[in-house]
Amino acid sequence: MADLRGGDLSRLRQLNSLTAIRALRGAGPLTLSALAERAGLSRPSMKEVTDELMALGWVEEVPPSPGTMGRPARRYRFRADSGYLVGVDIGGHNIRAALSDLDGEILAETRQPVLPDAPLDERLAAIERAVSGCLALSRTTVADVWSISVGTIGVIDVEGRVIYSAAVPAWRDLDLAGKLREMFPCQVLIENDSRLAAMAEARRGVARGARDVVFLHVGRRMGAGLIIGGKVHRGFGAAAGEISMLPEARWFDAPEHLNTCACVPAGTAPEDAAGYTLAAARNGDPVAVEAVERYVDDLAVGTAAMVLILDPQMVVLGGGFSRSSDVLLDRLRERLERTCMRMPEVRASTLGDECVVVGAIDYAVDHLDDQLFTPDKGPLPLT
């Protein structure tokens, strides 16, 4: 509790309000008695706090369930629908967007195709269309959005500038944060897509509860995200996990084993070639199997290096190729067993292609908590 010797009653009310909001966000609708117990306050004190939060628009009373007999106890919930968050996954071939409430519950999703060599203006327009599609599906407007969180391909700096992007030439040396702030009248957050994917898998996916994780973001390009001590590891300059930049790791060109396999029919779209090879390997095509073996050989080099350095609890195979985990996972596990002093669990993602956009939503929720629901700042009145 706050020290009241200085008469800081407003500070005490703020701390009590934060405690109440955290309890409601973590548990859903609660009665006044249950809320008071969780917050460690008397029932009359909690009633004052709840009334103030209702006046500010942060909390509302939940109507009794239909058919409830007698006089039910009043229940209260955090108004997660008082604002919205948008997550965006900027990939080489697709832009995905999702809209959620303030608790991170996803309400709408859209996808816009885009070519890797599309001009900058065209790619930015695809982002705007993807976000607008989510707003239309959820019958909201951009004015209702509090924050847009973006996961992007490429190496980014701490200011949200893309300093390198092999997959999208137009992305290099781009002040992405600045461009998006010109497009959207709300807070804009930028993060590397592999780190957001790792966050999503640790929060909602197969790595939930694991404190040390190597997330392999495998698809038409290769990336990695690291969870250390239960937190996403960015590194000093936000470049942690970029092992594909090291030629000896053999990640940069690894997907070409699948993309250029002789089993792929002529005329197959480049973005579908690897999927065709993986499907053919699943069916026992010897040429495809050989291509997969070479691909996993390369994948295992960089993965083993990270495992030996970090000694993680778990390695997660994620990204687009995780749909073919039945083809890849055992092969990867067998190669890691040859070189790793202690074998981590090796698991397949449960989020698949959604990992980045879901991670972007979780990233926005974290920033919301930090800005509004921490003791140093506290909840802001709704206008």
Distances (CA, A) of 343 to 205, 268, 307, 333: 21, 38, 8, 9
Sign for the CA dihedral angle at 362, 364, 369, 370 comes to positive
- Tell which residue, 130, 178, 173, has the closest CA to residue 154: 173
The pLDDT value recorded for residue 76 is: 85
Residue entry with tokens 């030439």 = 169
The answer to whether the beta carbons of residues 296 and 332 sit under 8 Å apart is yes
What are 295-327's pLDDT values in tens digits? Answer: 999 999 999 999 999 999 999 999 989 999 999
- Fold of the CATH domain 9-78: Arc Repressor Mutant, subunit A (1.10.10)
Query: pLDDT-based confidence at 48, cuts 50/70/90?
Result: confident
Q: What is the mean pLDDT of residues 370-380?
A: 63
Per-residue pLDDT of 82-131, as tens digits, reads: 889 999 999 888 999 999 999 999 999 999 999 888 899 999 999 999 99
**Nearest-angstrom CA–CA distance, 201 and 217:** 11
Q: Which CATH superfamily is domain 209-350 in?
A: ATPase, nucleotide binding domain (3.30.420.40)
Distances (CA, A) of 113 to 5, 87, 180, 227, 272: 61, 17, 19, 30, 14
Instruction: Please write the tens of the pLDDT for every residue from 221-279.
Output: 899 999 999 999 999 888 888 898 889 999 999 999 999 999 999 999 888 999 999 99
Pairing of strands 187-192, 145-152: parallel
What's phi and psi for 172, nearest 5 deg? -65, 140
Same fold, 84-196+356-373 and 209-350: yes
| 261: nearest Cα among 276, 240, 242 | 276
* Residue among 274, 276, 195 at smallest CA distance from 241: 195
Task: List the structure tokens of 286.
Answer: 């010897």
Domain ranges of the chain: 9-78, 84-196+356-373, 209-350
Fold of domain 84-196+356-373? Nucleotidyltransferase; domain 5 (3.30.420)
